[in-house]
Amino acid sequence: MIMKKKEKILLDVTNDKCPITFVKTKIALEKLTSNQYLNVYIKKGESLDGLPSSLKELGYKIDSKTKINEDVFSLDISKQD
């Protein structure tokens, strides 16, 4: 079986507050195709604390969480297989 590399779709919600961060992320995830994943830039705090658990409840998977700088994190999110 040949594994293709998935295409990264970037979403920057660092200037948004909850619940807008969740709404924008959910809409972007709904538009993904099977060969894509979503890379979200998000500020630490309430949005970062709540977003992963909310998305897991909806059936999405947090593949990685990376600290970009003091205030911003990167989340790689994909649909569950």
> Does pLDDT of 79 surpass 60?
yes
Q: Residue 35's closest CA among 3, 67, 7? A: 7
Asked if CATH classification 3.30.110.40 holds for the domain at 7-79, the reply, yes or no, is: yes
Looking at residue 18, its pLDDT comes to 87
* Domain range list for the chain: 7-79
> Does pLDDT of 4 surpass 90?
no
* C-alpha to C-alpha distance for 50 and 20, rounded to whole angstroms: 12
Confidence grade of residue 2 (pLDDT, cut at 50, 70, 90): low
pTM (two decimals) = 0.89
24-69: pLDDT as tens digits: 999 999 999 989 999 999 999 988 999 999 999 999 999 999 999 9
